[in-house]
Amino acid sequence: MYADRTYDDNGNLTGITDALNRATTNAYDAAGRLVSTTDERGNTTSYVYDASSRRTKIVDALGNETVFVYDAGNRLVSVTDARQNTTTYQYDELGRQRFVVSADGSKVETVYDELGRRKAVIDQEGKRTEFGYDALGRLTVVKDSLGQTTSYGYDELGNFIRQTDANSHSTTFEYDSVGRQRLRRLPGVIAEYFHYNRDGTVKQHVNFNAFPVNFKYDQLGRLLERKYLDGTRHVFTYTRAGLRETAKDDRGGITRYDYDDRDRLVKKTDPSGNSLEYTYDVAGNRTSLKANIGSASYTTAYTHDALNRIKTVTDPEGGVYNFDYDANGLQKQLDYPNGVRTTWSYDSQNRLVDLVTKKSSGEVLQSYHYQMALTGHRTSVTEADGTVRAYQYDDLWRLVQDKVTGPTGQLVYQEDFQYDPVGNRLRSDLIAHKRPKFVHVYTYDARDRIETHNGMKVSWDQAGRLTEMPGWMNDPDASYRWGFGDRLLGVELSNGTKVETTYDVDGNRVSSTETVEGVAASVDYLVDTSGWLSHVVAGVEEEEAETVYVRAGDQLLGNRRDGPEDRFHHQDALGSVRSLTDQGGNAVASGTYSAFGVRQRGTSADQDYGFAGEPWLAGSRLAHHRARWMDPQTGRFLSQDRFEGVIEQPQSLNRYCYAYADPVNGRDPTGYWTIGGIMLGGIFGTYCHGDCRA
């Protein structure tokens, strides 16, 4: 879209005005330094500099200040945030950053070798990870805090060709003459293959089951067709701007996408004719989401503050949610339409320490007080009734004990875990009050797939997807049926329960049918795919909205269900839905979970979202994490991860383990990688892929 740009006499960009006269402006001082930026809504961020032109202060549109201090060598030595929490940085005589000191005095230390490469990182609790390199500076070995090593190899051209985990199992890679990966071989003889067009686009992918997928592109490299072995075809068209215009699925249904003059999605229509419509303000913030289902429409409206954060959400019934934030932008209060209020409090490192939800009368509905290790890993949580949940970890911060004691100190529940070097759960011992001890023992193959559970064989296909899981004690046997793209199509339990699921071209779940005791119930899903995570906006039964969900970004606020009145959702620090309230602010459902998400009590027909805020299917007892399905009983995904992990963090290389075996602090909403987890010294990033599916 056309935009008019203006510049000052020094060539600095001073403004951008689009065809609809929406403008952003920049101002500079006499030295040509940017001193302010004003967005389309008139909100201004200001910048202050010292005599050496170092930026010393940022003042946001609400007046919140972040202050930066430097030493004589122009090195950043401290950052003070808007809540007056200061992080300091210390350097060695060569100018290398040695310590990061948090506001509470805890330190992360970095050690260097004689060539200046990072040799070790020591976290706030003294746990040490070491790194080794070859002569060319490439990472060749990581030694974790348990002394276990993971090694990496390269060919003479610098291609990454080998990854050997702490169990001595190797994955190898091969490349073509121009350095494109053509093969990945898992431990053993199983391999997947990639074939390319001349322009480098993937022409064919052959998976571990030897099933080929063929791809066709236009002259601009945009995907036109994806064709599977069984003849299934996904076909795509694009607008002149290169945005997806239509997508034809394997059932012949067409999804259509419409955009405004700024190339923002304004309407998405699914094959059934149901649609989602979007509106935006001048700054691009979403102001409404309208779900059109049959002849009915449901609109959720949004307003934003001067920092473009959500200020209010108005649900389809006219109920208003009000948001408030602290000076650092952390959510500190949420008022629900039914008079319920949730407040959040944080420590000097912006970590959540208290979460309290109260009725308008002041009665506490739920409260959680968190204590943490110096690294931020939660070590205990105390609830409103005095129940205490305590957590213990090994030196890799994998959860080894989840213990619950009641208000008088009596043991309610305790589960202990043991792992192999790469994070596979070897054993769990469960003790519950006045119940016998349960022991689960697992063995694994070289590909980290469960081989046996308590001596019973577990079956997989060559693509690494679970096909048969034997029941134990009173649990039924389960069989799993898979389709292309590692999509779980069906689950069948030996007690007669069945679950069937269908997906769109991007792998978003668009329908499910559960059959329990011979009675089938089907739901179609209207999915919002406009954000980094896709979300179900409505569940549709017999062409009418059965449930409409209200969200603020990725935060689930409430739902309107056909039959019962509105329900409002209240979560804990992990995002698990712990209680539901009605329009009067009364608790109508509650739930608790094991550390890995097994529902322990308080199930409700209204509560279709649960552990870590993700949906679950009661019939299958599986949690849906978009790209993959997770079994809370084993704490593992049913299929292997397509994300290859971060080589500096070996525990991330396990393709099945949920949240690096730390479900207390991390979660995996994409099905690809953990977010919100406590990364070693903050040196590992949070990753997102364009394919974060519902």
- Tens-digit pLDDT profile for residues 279-306: 999 999 999 999 999 999 999 999 999 9
The pLDDT assigned to 564 comes to 64
pLDDT bin (cut points 50, 70, 90) of residue 690 is very low
Count CB neighbours of 348 within 10 A: 16
**Residue 549 in this model has a pLDDT that exceeds 50:** yes
Rg (alpha carbons) of the chain, rounded to whole number: 27
Domain boundaries, the chain: 264-682
Q: What is the structure's pLDDT at 586?
A: 96
pLDDT higher than 70, residue 227:
yes
Tell me the mean pLDDT in the region 512-524.
Answer: 93
Whether 188 has a pLDDT exceeding 90, the answer reads no
At 681, is the secondary structure helix, strand, or coil? helix
**pLDDT tens profile 447-469:** 999 999 999 999 999 999 999 99
| Residue 84 burial (C-beta neighbours within 10 Å; 0-12, 13-18, 19+) | exposed
pLDDT score of 434: 79
> Model confidence at 152, in pLDDT bands (50, 70, 90)?
very high
Average of per-residue pLDDT values in the chain: 94
Query: How many Å apart are CA 494 and CA 475, to the nearest integer?
Result: 9
Mean of the pLDDT values across residues 604-608?
68
pLDDT value for 291: 98
Report which of 516, 467, 566, 463 is spatially closest to residue 212, judged by C-alpha positions. Answer: 463
- The secondary structure of the chain in percent helix, strand, coil, rounded to multiples of 5, reads 0, 50, 45
C-alpha 88/C-alpha 95 separation (Å) is 15
Residue 433: predicted pLDDT? 81
Give the burial class of 185: count Cβ atoms within 10 A of its Cβ; 0-12 exposed, 13-18 middle, 19 or more buried: middle
Residues 6+ apart with CB under 8 A from 401: 390, 391, 392, 414, 415, 416, 417
Report the candidate in 415, 369, 364 with the shortest Cα–Cα distance to residue 388. Answer: 369
Question: Which tokens is 147 given?
Answer: 């002394």
Model confidence at 682: pLDDT above 60: no
Q: What is residue 608's predicted lDDT score, i.e. its pLDDT?
A: 87
661-665 average pLDDT score: 98
Overall size of the chain counted in residues: 694
- Which residue carries 């870590």 as its tokens? 612
DSSP 455: T
**Mean pLDDT for the stretch of residues 170-180:** 97
pLDDT band of residue 607 (cuts 50, 70, 90) is confident
pLDDT at 2: 61
Per-residue pLDDT tens over the stretch 42-68: 999 999 999 999 999 999 999 999 999
Q: Nearest CA to 581 among 604, 554, 598?
A: 604
End-to-end, the C-alpha distance of the chain in Å comes to 31
Instruction: Report, as an integer, the average pLDDT of 377-382.
Output: 99
Contacts for 151 with CB less than 8 Å, ≥ 6 apart:
140, 141, 142, 162, 163, 164
Instruction: Measure the CA–CA gap between 469 and 454, rounded to whole angstroms.
Output: 11
- Bridge partners of 589? 580
Please give the pLDDT value at position 221: 96
Instruction: Report percent pLDDT > 70 for the chain.
Output: 96
Residue 563 is predicted with a pLDDT of 67
Euclidean distance between CA atoms 195 and 68, whole angstroms: 50
What is the average per-residue pLDDT within 243-250?
A: 96
Mean pLDDT for 212-230 is 97
Q: How far apart (Å, rounded) are the C-alpha atoms in residues 587 and 599?
A: 18
Q: Note the pLDDT of residue 634.
A: 98
Among 293-297, 410-414, 608-612, 680-684, the least confident range: 680-684
**What DSSP element (H or E) covers 316?**
none
Confidence of residue 189 (pLDDT cuts 50, 70, 90): confident
> Can you give the pLDDT at residue 602?
66
Cα 395 to the center of its chain, rounded Å: 24
- Given a cut of 90, whether residue 604 has pLDDT beyond it is no
Q: What is the C-alpha to C-alpha distance for residues 481 and 465, in angstroms, rounded to an integer?
A: 9
Reply yes or no on whether the pLDDT at 258 is more than 90. Answer: yes
pLDDT at 324: 99
Q: How far apart are CA 538 and CA 549, in angstroms?
A: 6
546 pLDDT above the threshold of 70: yes
Phi-psi group of 553: left, alpha or beta (phi > 0 → left; psi -120 to 50 → alpha; rest → beta): left
Q: Flag the least confident range among 30-39, 262-271, 503-512, 680-689.
A: 680-689
| The pLDDT of residue 233 is above 60 | yes
Whether the pLDDT of residue 481 is over 60: the answer is yes
Number of H helices, E strands in the chain: 0, 62
CATH number of 264-682: 2.180.10.10
| Residue 379: CB atoms within 10 Å | 14
What confidence score (pLDDT) does residue 683 get? 32
* Cα–Cα distances in angstroms (integers) from residue 613 to residues 555, 556, 609, 669, in the given order: 8, 8, 6, 8
